[in-house]
Chains A and B, each alone.
Chain A
């Protein structure tokens, strides 16, 4: 598209724009947080569900030693990273898809579009929120694991890198699903229908010892995150770049769908 801005003028605008955009992004992150923490239900379910699961697994498997079934780890050493991965899926993919579908249906997204807040600003606020929630979730799960005697992870930097990248990818997939779903009522069942078999297939609840199955699951989004967290959590390895590359590919696919299909306005009859 042709623009007729004078070059010098454009530079000034860009510089002023940069500072304003940064302030705008921070502003949006702040208020997205405020909306979330004010809603008792969303805060409760986001944090309580993964913690309950890890507590139950901890109580069930407490005292069990290392076994070949869990790849030479204790049961809980295995479950802390896989449930941590599940919590990231829950707060990024599931929650985001449902929240966006609901906000669209209620006209809140259209109202956002009526303001000068650019789309990237809105999504940056959501992404920052999802990353923060994931960090809190994972910290809680590590804490519960510690109570049950699981040693603390050793490779924190690798965990941080994995979390940020995974959260971004699953946010992109969440937005993609919200782009494909038309009404808010359909969001929770569709989200769960996709997620539940994936969790089983990827060894989140029970380790999978079929090589063929693992190869297939390794190309889907959940198992790579499990693998990428198992290493730095329990196996003293660093960033699992191969798994993160698979995640990144899914994130890119999600972003592409979101860019092409995302709608702000509720469906009109």
Chain B
């Protein structure tokens, strides 16, 4: 199928592949995948370390799920190297051994309707060599109250929690979560985040996809922003896209009797621009100095700086900027640039 050598690995002794050497749980290098003329993944590389939560953040259709499905062994890749816990997920011979060590929570809810929650979890537990106790997993995802209920009587959110339980029951070293909280209400999302953080505490490596900035911010140790099948930025939520080095913004209402040019900013190496809402925005690399100058000036004049705020660009702004090029012409671009 794939014109590529598969790593000769056996279930008993996985060959020392790249992850074993680097200590990474997962490595992807130069990954490519096209569907007919559409290039869905165009040369993606990243590494996930043991015990961290790694997020693939990107808009719908960016290629996140395709990447995840290749890592999970559901799709064959066109090119590139993939190594998951020392195994090539495209290698069918070692598929069962790999499946025993990873947990998958897919995007769509798909559970048999007529079994109870406990029966469903116990059934899947039987597929693994060293499963968790069914009751323990049910409690972990907060479904104790529904353990004896038939799956078809569960709400959508409860079904997704059952899905998570099925991903965890095999005691995975590595857990894939494909958009784990899509469709959750805010309280349920926070609960789900707590569960995911709890899993990290237990040493489970987690790879998740999301198109929610706040989710990536709240959960991820590191993240890659995916846009039109490529990694456009990688880093921690605090540093991604140069967020930590970005200019700080000081905002306040300009006193009625002066213009931005009147502000004493030349010494602070800052620039002020008036925005339509009567506020002025001062951008500076040294917010401490600029603030000192501005507040001194204001106190000297006896006019307080009303509505004063200081912030860095939010992850959302960085994300929108990073994915801006691809968004308006996403379809035409992906079809044109096929490889």
Contacts and interface: CB of A to CB of B under 8 A. Distances in A.
B327 interface: no
Most buried by A among B72, B110, B115: B110
B15 A4 contact: yes
Interface stretch (B78-86, B99-107, B188-196, B249-257): B99-107
Interface in B12-59: 12-13, 15
**Main DSSP-derived SS at the B contact region:** loop
Contact of A5 (B12, B74, B108, B170): B12
B316 interface: no
Interface stretch (B125-133, B208-216, B263-271, B331-339): B125-133
A108 B127 contact: no
Given A9-B13, A114-B104, A115-B170, A106 B110 contact: yes
Contacts of A265: 74
Contacts of B115: 31, 34-35, 38
B248 to A, nearest CB: 45
B110 A9 contact: no
Given A31-B119, A34-B119, A108 B111 contact: yes
A38 B123 CA distance: 15
A120 B256 CA distance: 79
A39 B150 CA distance: 11
Most buried by B among A3, A28, A106, A115: A115
Given A4-B15, A107-B106, A116 B10 contact: no
Contacts, number: 78
Contacts of B289: none
B153 interface: no
A265 B65 CA distance: 14
B245 interface: no
A111 B127 contact: no
B86 to A, nearest CB: 14
B8 interface: yes
A66 interface: no
A3 B110 contact: no
B96 interface: yes
Contact of A110 (B74, B96, B113): B74
B239 interface: no
A245 B119 CA distance: 40
Nearest to B120: A31
Most buried by B among A1, A106, A111: A111
B166 A111 contact: yes
A111 B97 CA distance: 17
A121 to B, nearest CB: 8
B112 interface: yes
B6 interface: yes
B122 to A, nearest CB: 8
A261 interface: no
A54 B111 CA distance: 36
Contacts of B10: 3-5, 10
B11 interface: yes
Given A24-B126, A108-B111, A114 B13 contact: no
B218 interface: no
A246 to B, nearest CB: 34
A76 to B, nearest CB: 36
Given A35-B112, A113-B74, A1 B93 contact: yes
Contacts of A1: 6, 8, 93
A193 interface: no
A123 to B, nearest CB: 15
A14 to B, nearest CB: 10
Interface in A98-118: 106-108, 110-111, 113-118
B191 to A, nearest CB: 23
Given A24-B126, A31-B119, A2 B112 contact: no
Nearest to A9: B12
A13 B12 contact: yes
20 contacts: A1-B8, A9-B12, A10-B10, A10-B12, A13-B11, A27-B127, A31-B119, A34-B119, A38-B114, A107-B106, A111-B106, A113-B74, A114-B72, A114-B106, A115-B99, A115-B124, A115-B128, A115-B166, A116-B99, A117-B127
Closest 10 CB pairs of A and B: A107-B110, A38-B114, A116-B99, A27-B126, A114-B104, A31-B123, A117-B127, A115-B127, A116-B100, A5-B10
Interface of A: 1-5, 9-10, 13, 20, 23-24, 27-28, 31, 34-35, 38-39, 106-108, 110-111, 113-118, 265
